[in-house]
Amino acid sequence: MYDLIGDIHGCASELKALLAKLGYSVRAGVWRHPTRRVIFLGDFIDRGPAQVEVLEMVRAMVEAEQALTVMGNHEFNAVAWATPAATGSGAYLRLQTDANRKQHAAFLAQVVEGSDDHKELIDWFCGLPLWLDLPGLRVVHACWHTPSFDVLTEHLDDRQRIRDKAAWVALTRRGDPAYEALETVLKGLEIPLPEGVEYKDREGTIRRHVRTRWWKDHPITYRDLAIAPTEVIPQIPHEPAPEHVLPGYNGDKPVFVGHYWMRGTPRPLSSRVACLDYSVAAGGKLCAYRWDGEHDLVDEHFCWVDVDRSQTEPQGSAS
């Protein structure tokens, strides 16, 4: 069975504490459990103080077949940042703007940008699958969205890994259907707001689309669907959203995601969907779910450690 772990963002001490709490220990240099394996949900890097150490732990587990993983949007961005758009062009697949560098700066400093270690990690990121469809459960970083998977398939190999440089170019080219599909899978499903409706985000940027709680499958308003900062929510109209704008989720298997910076006590988003990103890099929790083959997800199978330096023992669920 599997223990699924949400976004780590370079928080190695919390990862060690959570693995220990889950019953894993280090043997032959690798964190192992007698009967279980981990599935990581991506976003190992950016923000936290020990990003290289996190990657060393995760890679060792994957290579020793003690863990599986999917790609997060931060790993995707790291590859795009380091990959030239064309030989000799001086441009890269991810624009090297001040804003993008600021988001990625902690990783670049810790790994030493352009070093052999940096290049090796970029190669490893390139080999991460975008999603996993396993017997009994599914895993993706942000959104299980079959229409997007259909668009992406031509750019992937048979293990859902990005196929080659041409595929990377398509997936980073704004306006390409593959770019939009990748954005949905790794960042979440956005829908257009009603005609004439817009809002300002935290940075003052005008937005006419809103990221959604894509797992909802019943009539609901735009405001109830919106994933946005608390101060933005009042700007979202409280009128019914058309039923066709959300794919829903058919629920034939539970699906696990990260990405969404949840707060509070971990619990399922629905009976078949769980988010395991509980904002560890912002002082929240590093969260796991102990999946034992159940079809309906339960509160009792969440396990976490809090980011609380005043405590000598990690706090959280004892399950």
* C-beta atoms surrounding 52 within 10 Å: 18
Share of the chain above pLDDT 90, in %: 77
Task: For residue 57, give both structure tokens.
Answer: 């732990």
Best CA proximity match to 77, nearest among 110, 99, 56, 57 = 99
Determine the Cα–Cα distance for residues 184 and 156; give it in Å rounded to an integer. Answer: 16
Distance separating the N- and C-terminal Cα atoms of the chain = 15
For the segment 58-76, what is each residue's pLDDT rounded down to a tens digit? 999 999 999 999 999 999 9
pLDDT at position 146, please?
93
Which residue type sits at 64?
A: A
pLDDT at position 51, please?
98
pLDDT at position 231, please?
84
* In contact, 304 and 266? CB cutoff 8 Å: yes
Mark the ranges of the chain whose per-residue pLDDT is less than 70: 218-219, 308-319
User: Can you list the domains of the chain with their CATH numbers?
Assistant: 2-189+247-306 (3.60.21.10)
For the segment 129-142, what is each residue's pLDDT rounded down to a tens digit? 999 999 999 999 99
DSSP the chain: -EEEE---TT-HHHHHHHHHHTT-EEETTEEE-SS-EEEE-S---SSSS-HHHHHHHHHHHHHTTSEEE---HHHHHHHHHHSBSSTT---BSS---HHHHHHHHHHHHHHTTTSHHHHHHHHHHHT--SEEEETTEEEESS---HHHHHHHGGGB-TTS-B-SHHHHHHHTSTT-HHHHHHHHHHH--EEEPSTT--EE-TT--EESEEEB-TT--S--BHHHHB---TTTGGGS--SBPPGGG------SS-EEE--S---SS---SBTTEEE-EEBGGGTSEEEEEEE-S-SS--GGGEEEEE--TT-SS--S---
pLDDT at position 308, please?
61
